[in-house]
């Protein structure tokens, strides 16, 4: 299992194949009446978009850290495990990567209240449509799922910021 996780972490191709399989599976589950070729076309489109976004993000992070995409994958794994590298060059690359990621998250944090407000408006709109339509089952399920998603986003954001700040302080103390 460890080797599969490492392979998925490092290989963009493996992630693309996984996205394709998930995309086809989701299409098969929700569009049972359509032909399987349509499932494959939609799954391929979803995988291409997801892989393109991931490739651009990795390339940008690699430029910020001064390393290649494989180096970024190794550095992010070490950050997740809170491992400080012994090599000074790798430590400097990790510092640059963490500074870039913290800057990105802090800039994106300015928009977080607006995104959460938009989610709240969508939930209120769905509940209003449910009241007008006479059925509240789906709108209430959507509201609960949206609230859970928003809390999960906030928790993961706080946890990631804590990890980055902890790693930044560890890197500064060992410099």
pLDDT in tens, 74-96: 888 899 989 988 888 999 999 99
Is the confidence at residue 141, as pLDDT, over 90? yes
What is the pLDDT confidence band of residue 158, given thresholds at 50, 70 and 90? very high
**Separation CA 27–CA 41 (nearest Å):** 10
What pTM was computed for the model?
0.77
What pLDDT is recorded for position 175? 64
Encode pLDDT of 38-70 as tens digits: 999 999 999 999 999 988 988 898 898 888 878
- Nearest alpha-carbon partner for 168 in 107, 84, 95: 95
Q: DSSP code of 4?
A: H
- Nearest alpha-carbon partner for 112 in 122, 123, 120: 120
Query: Is 67 within 8 Å of 93 (Cβ atoms)?
Result: yes
Q: DSSP code of 81?
A: T
What pLDDT is recorded for position 112? 92
Encode pLDDT of 18-27 as tens digits: 899 999 999 8
Is the confidence at residue 163, as pLDDT, over 80? yes
Q: Please state, rounded to an integer, the average pLDDT across all residues of the chain.
A: 90
Alpha helices in the chain (DSSP H): 2-10, 12-30, 36-65, 69-80, 88-109, 112-133, 137-174
């Amino acid at each position: 299992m460890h080797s599969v996780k490492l392979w998925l972490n490092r290989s963009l191709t493996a992630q693309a194949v996984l996205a394709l399989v998930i995309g086809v599976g989701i299409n098969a589950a929700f569009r049972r009446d359509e032909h399987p070729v349509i499932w494959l076309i939609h799954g391929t489109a979803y995988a291409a978009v997801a892989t393109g976004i991931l490739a651009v993000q990795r390339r940008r992070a690699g430029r910020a850290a001064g390393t290649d995409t494989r180096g970024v994958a190794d550095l992010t794994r070490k950050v997740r495990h809170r491992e400080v590298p012994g090599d000074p060059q790798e430590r400097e690359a990790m510092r640059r990567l963490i500074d870039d990621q913290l800057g990105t998250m802090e800039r994106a944090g300015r928009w977080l209240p607006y995104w959460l407000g938009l989610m709240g408006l969508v939930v209120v709109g769905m509940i209003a449509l449910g009241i007008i339509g006479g059925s509240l089952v789906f709108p209430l399920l959507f509201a609960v799922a949206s609230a859970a998603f928003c809390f999960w986003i906030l928790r993961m954001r706080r946890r990631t910021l804590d990890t980055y700040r902890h790693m930044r302080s560890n890197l500064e103390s060992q410099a």
